[in-house]
């Protein structure tokens, strides 16, 4: 199985691990990121090191106009995608009464607005290509169970689950599966400032997860073995309930 796959937020962290997981399966990777060119170049080099095909496509997933412009030009030049991983995300935590408009808007636009901004231009070309496909969104344990200080983030990630489930119903007969992966706490730059000892006590497996462990779930959902799985949320969280 091959074809172009867009991974958003692929310059580092979970997105980089996902790109590295999908490249050996024969997919041609298109790496999106916002601004971190050096890290994106590093991801691209790691993919070339395993003889993978890769190109870079930077744009802000929360900026609808920028997304449309970048994706329409890319589609025109290179044709439809086989798969998309909506991974790019941010958090801006704080108690709700003190949450600024910027913190609400930035998190909702980046994490949930991006579902519309990125996927809408890509869906009809995928459908017209008539070869099925795979869409995976990266949500979060916070979107499934809520988290203090993350009202904006939880709302965006819960919204992503609803959008994913609904889109799966629209695309099922086209053989395009649409699923979510919901990581718990994963060791990346996003969790650098977190109180890890305290957090570990809450996780049944008593450790944070690795980006590669999230990528494995995405790799499975992209595989032929997962051809009859759609509209699901696969939690990768060390046993959090
Ligand atoms: P990370 O290390 O902070 O990396 C974030 C990635 O997203 C970077 O590649 C960044 O690009 C990109 N990005 C951020 N805003 C963007 C925008 N507006 N447009 C395009 N790209 C953007 O985060 P991570 O920990 O790998 O998280 C990846 C996903 O997993 C996120 O959706 C996050 O919510 C979710 N998640 C993470 C955890 C965790 O514990 N780490 C847990 C649950 C869910 P630049 O490098 O250019 O800034």
Q: Give me the catalytic one of 33, 81, 82, 153.
A: 153
* Residue whose CA lies nearest to ligand 1 atom number 31: 89
Share of the chain above pLDDT 70, in %: 100
Mean pLDDT of 219-228: 98
What's the CA-to-centroid distance between 189 and ligand 1, angstroms?
8
Helix, strand, coil percent values for the chain (each to nearest 5)? 55, 15, 30
How far is residue 191 from each of residues 8, 19, 113, 115, 137, measured CA to CA in Å? Answer: 19, 20, 22, 23, 19
Q: What is the DSSP string of 1-68?
A: --EEEEESS-SSHHHHHHHHHHGGGTEEEEE--SS-HHHHHHHHHHHHHTT-EEEE----TT-HHHHH
Is residue 81 annotated as a catalytic residue, yes or no?
A: no
- Sheet with 53-56, strands from edge to edge, namely 53-56, 27-31, 3-7, 83-86, 133-138, 176-183, 233-236
For the chain, domains (ranges, CATH) are 4-184+212-234 (3.40.50.720)
Question: Rounded to an integer, what is the distance from CA 158 to the centroid of its chain?
Answer: 14
Quote the Cα angle for 69-172-85, to 5°: 40
Residue 136 has pLDDT above 60, yes or no: yes
Pocket of ligand 1, beta carbon within 6 A: 8-15, 32-36, 39, 60-62, 87-90, 110, 138, 140, 183, 185-186, 188-191
What's the CA-to-centroid distance between 46 and ligand 1, angstroms?
19
Share of the chain above pLDDT 90, in %: 95
Return the number of other C-beta atoms located less than 10 Å from residue 161's C-beta: 18
Q: Residue 193: its pLDDT value, please? A: 86
Q: Residue 198: its pLDDT value, please? A: 87
Residue 1 has pLDDT above 80, yes or no: no
pLDDT tens-digit readout, 11-65: 999 999 999 999 999 999 999 999 999 999 999 999 999 999 999 999 999 999 9
Q: Residue 199: its pLDDT value, please? A: 87
Q: Residue 115: its pLDDT value, please? A: 99
pLDDT tens-digit readout, 59-101: 999 999 999 999 999 999 999 999 999 999 999 999 999 999 9
Record the pTM. 0.98
Q: Residue 2: its pLDDT value, please? A: 72
Mean pLDDT of 155-176: 98
């Amino acid at each position: 199985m091959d074809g172009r796959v867009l991974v958003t937020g692929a310059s580092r962290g979970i997105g980089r691990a996902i790109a590295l997981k999908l490249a050996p399966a024969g997919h041609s990777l298109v790496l999106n990121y916002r601004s971190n060119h050096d890290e994106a170049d590093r991801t691209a080099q790691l993919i070339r090191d395993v003889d993978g095909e890769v190109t870079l496509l930077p744009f802000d997933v929360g900026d609808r106009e920028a997304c449309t412009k970048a994706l329409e030009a890319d589609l025109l030049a290179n044709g439809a995608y086989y798969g998309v991983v909506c991974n790019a995300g941010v958090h801006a935590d704080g108690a709700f009464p003190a949450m600024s408009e910027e913190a609400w808007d930035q998190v909702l636009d980046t994490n949930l607005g991006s579902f519309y901004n990125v996927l809408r231009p890509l869906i009809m070309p995928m459908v017209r290509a008539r070869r099925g496909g795979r869409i995976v969104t990266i949500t979060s344990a916070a979107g499934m169970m809520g988290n203090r200080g993350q009202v904006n983030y939880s709302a965006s990630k819960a919204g992503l689950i609803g959008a994913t489930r609904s889109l799966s119903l629209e695309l099922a007969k086209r053989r395009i599966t649409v699923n979510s992966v919901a990581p718990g706490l994963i060791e990346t730059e996003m969790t650098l400032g977190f109180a890890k000892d305290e957090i570990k006590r809450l996780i049944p497996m008593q450790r944070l997860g690795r980006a590669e462990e999230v990528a494995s779930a995405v790799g499975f959902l992209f595989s032929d073995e997962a051809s009859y799985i759609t509209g699901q949320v696969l939690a990768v969280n060390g046993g959090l309930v």
